[in-house]
Chains A and B, each alone.
Chain A
Amino acid sequence: MTRKLILAIVCLALLLGLLIRASSGAMPNPFLDYQNLGLWVGAALTLFALSFLYGDNPFFRFTEHVFVGVASAYWMVQGFWGTLVPKLLANLAPEIAVSLFRMDFPVGVPWTRRLLYALPLLMGGLLLTRLHPRARRAGSWTLAFLVGITAGLRLIAFLDAGFMTQIQNSVVSLVAVSRSGFDLGKSLDAILLTGGVICCLLYFFFSRRESGPVALAGRFGLAVLMVTFGASFGFSVMGRVAVLVGRMEFLLHDWLGII
């Protein structure tokens, strides 16, 4: 209890110090305009989110809920004004869009087009039936349509770009020749690429006993996989550090005005 009280007093003292600093003009004053207030809210939410590093606390949970709520609301509003109104309503019933939202849409849409756009409305509506346990089967039609379209679309592109071309790109000449003659570096690259691919495939070849040259190649394949996972992890760390740098820049530059 005493520790929490001390922590609260320290936080209040810091806040007071920051407000005094803001009033002196050294950093954005939250009482002057909404943009500055937004900066302060952003800074507070950043600090609340970072407070999780010390331990779970109500400030962190508050920020978490605000983040989820704001993001969902933004997506919903964007979906409504960016898709439902200009793409669906403007084709289905432009008169409503013009009179209700005072938007500039051509109203003379032919009935055939309106009927065509009634179909996605119907399918979208059917998706909502999944919220009701007794009517949820009706939504399966839309889901089946979506899954079918996505599978068909992905299969064709994947077969070409993700499968055939990848195989083609993996089978390269082991002896690379440049303008000046034999290129040792590129040749080693090609040998490593081809050898790595074959050894990785051999690692997943379970029909043979784990001994002999196949097992040895499989072990090399495992090493290649480990290096790949390690590099991916390294990229992941790099990304997280970049986010931290971005946030600290916001706190130190935009908010506190120190740098």
Chain B
Amino acid sequence: MVQLGRWAVMNVTGRRCIYLGMLLAVTVPMIWRISFKEHPTPMVRDIFATIEKLPKNARVLFVCDFDPASAAETRPMEDAFARHLCLRGVGLYCLTLWPTGPIEIDRTIRDVIALEFPSYRYGQNFVNLGYMSGNEAVVAVALTNFKKAFSTDVHNISTHDASRLPMMVPIEDLASFDLIVDVSAGYPGLNEWIPYGAIPAGVPIVGGSVAVGSPEIFPYIPEQCGGILVGVKGAAEYEQLLLEQYPQLDRPECRIALERMGPQTVAHLMIIGLILLGNGIHLWRRHKEAAA
């Protein structure tokens, strides 16, 4: 039988201890409901101000470029954006370039728009254009002829049908929109909507991104993109601003990201502690080996 060395055994058991520690770091604050007040950054404030400035009945292209796998980060920002846009009374044109995106649009419509804003009528205040394959090619077509890229909605109603989808009447191209809001988790997403859609059309764009994908978007801010919410932290800051501006939203379903920031912060502190500990042990071993 192969005998494991002292360090190898410590590596295996240490690794499992770290996993256990991480589990506790996440679950304990969750059970004890530890949460912190968020201090929104200027970028998040800019995004909030952009939506606040929208006039009633403005036309907003609401893009959900993510899937259930990334929903832990993107769903809170999607809900917060939908809630804020509905509070502003703007027209929502929902679509996705992800095959798994329609599930998320349906969920947002069911849980946020239909439930919290019963005055919102399908075809008049919001429309679900569903999924369209083709990635950036779809954006390029929509740039010049939106109804060619999206000829029907999810219910197979023609986007030219003025009686059933009256809110589609003024839409000709991407420039017909007042704002693009894209919550994205990768390709295709903000990195496609900014260069192929928002910039050529001259339409302002804001959005949210999973944390790991956000460094790709940062070079576009602030000139080409108004700003992005970065991961759960960005969503929590946005929720904080929403609560400050609209106190009537102080309900559990409007504080999802804020609630999640408790375990998130404790887990981050644990990781920082482990990095310091690991470096300390490494330096100590090096010092000991040099002395020997």
Interface residues of A (CB under 8 A from B): 53-54, 71, 74-75, 78-79, 82-83, 86, 103-105, 149-150, 153-154, 157-158, 160-162, 165-166, 169, 228, 231-232, 235-239, 241-249, 252, 258-259
Query: Hey, which chain A residues are within 8 Å of B194, CB to CB?
Result: 161
16 A-B contacts (beta carbon < 8 Å)? A75-B100, A78-B100, A82-B99, A149-B137, A154-B136, A157-B199, A235-B212, A235-B214, A235-B230, A241-B271, A242-B72, A242-B73, A242-B260, A243-B73, A246-B73, A248-B263
Query: Hey, which chain A residues are within 8 Å of B70, CB to CB?
Result: 243
Q: Among residues 3 to 42 in chain B, which have CB atoms less than 8 Å away from a CB atom of chain A? A: 16, 19, 22-23, 26-27, 30-31, 33
**CB within 8 A of B72: which of A150, A157, A166, A247?**
A247
A71 to chain B, nearest CB (A): 8
- Give the complex CA separation of A252 and B29 in angstroms: 12
Question: Is the Cβ of A236 less than 8 Å from the Cβ of B195?
Answer: no
Query: Known: A83-B133, A242-B260, A259-B30. Is A235-B195 also a contact (CB below 8 A)?
Result: no
Query: Known: A235-B212, A244-B267. Is A74-B100 also a contact (CB below 8 A)?
Result: yes
Question: Is the Cβ of B223 less than 8 Å from the Cβ of A245?
Answer: no
Question: Is the Cβ of A244 less than 8 Å from the Cβ of B73?
Answer: no
- Give the complex CA separation of A247 and B210 in angstroms: 16
Closest residue of chain A to B73 (Cβ to Cβ) is A242
Interface centre among A78, A153, A161, A245 (most CB of B within 10 A): A245
The interface bits of chain B over 120-142 (1 if a CB of A lies within 8 angstroms of the residue's CB, else 0) are 00000000001111001100100
Interface residues of B (CB under 8 A from A): 16, 19, 22-23, 26-27, 30-31, 33, 70-73, 99-100, 102, 130-133, 136-137, 140, 152, 156, 194-196, 199-200, 210-212, 214-215, 219-220, 223-224, 230-233, 260, 263-264, 267-268, 271
- Give the complex CA separation of A228 and B214 in angstroms: 12
Question: Is the Cβ of A235 less than 8 Å from the Cβ of B211?
Answer: yes
A189 to chain B, nearest CB (A): 12
Query: Hey, which chain A residues are within 8 Å of B212, CB to CB?
Result: 232, 235-236, 239
Question: Is the Cβ of A242 less than 8 Å from the Cβ of B137?
Answer: no
- Give the complex CA separation of A237 and B196 in angstroms: 30
